[in-house]
Amino acid sequence: MFSPLMETIIERENLPVVSSETLDEFACANGDTVLFVGGDWHRHVEVNDVAVILPEILKASGGLLKGAVLERGSERAIQTRYRFNRFPSLIFLRDGEYLGVIQKVLDWADYVTEINEILARQATPPPQFEFPEGCAPVAQPRSN
């Protein structure tokens, strides 16, 4: 379930809601895309902030970026696929291929800078998953 504000933005901006199963079709058909992955709006206070910013990013792109919102039930699958560790996140794709992710609320000028840098990249596999500081797994000794 999305926050009431997110529901309003989805409806007002006519943003498609995609799942882990339909994301590839959407992304491949729309060139440069940005996927909003919100997380639990009760636990992550920035969800509504990024929800408000998403339409502004789309408008500022002059139609270059197409946006979509990930359904809540697909969040963990997409988190595993693109290896990010914070909600909310904006994932940038080109023809379905990974370009980058923004994992926090930024000042507008920082969004502009980060998005321009991301869109200037070539598609690559997502980076290795990074555990938050203090949460790295401990290597287990191998038995012979």
Summarised one tens digit per residue, pLDDT across range 87-118 is 999 999 999 999 999 998 999 999 999 999 99
State how beta strands 66-70 and 17-18 pair.
parallel
What local confidence, expressed as pLDDT, does residue 128 receive? 79
SS3 sequence of 87-144: CCEEEEEECCEEEEEECCCCCHHHHHHHHHHHHCCCCCCCCCCCCCCCCCCCCCCCCC
Distance, in Å, from the CA atom of 40 to the CA atom of 112, rounded to the nearest integer, reads 26
Distance, in Å, from the CA atom of 59 to the CA atom of 31, rounded to the nearest integer, reads 16
Percent residues over pLDDT 90 in the chain:
84
Say if residues 58 and 65 touch (Cβ distance below 8 Å).
Answer: yes
Domains and CATH numbers, the chain: 4-119 (3.40.30.10)
Summarised one tens digit per residue, pLDDT across range 57-87 is 999 999 999 999 999 999 999 999 999 999 9
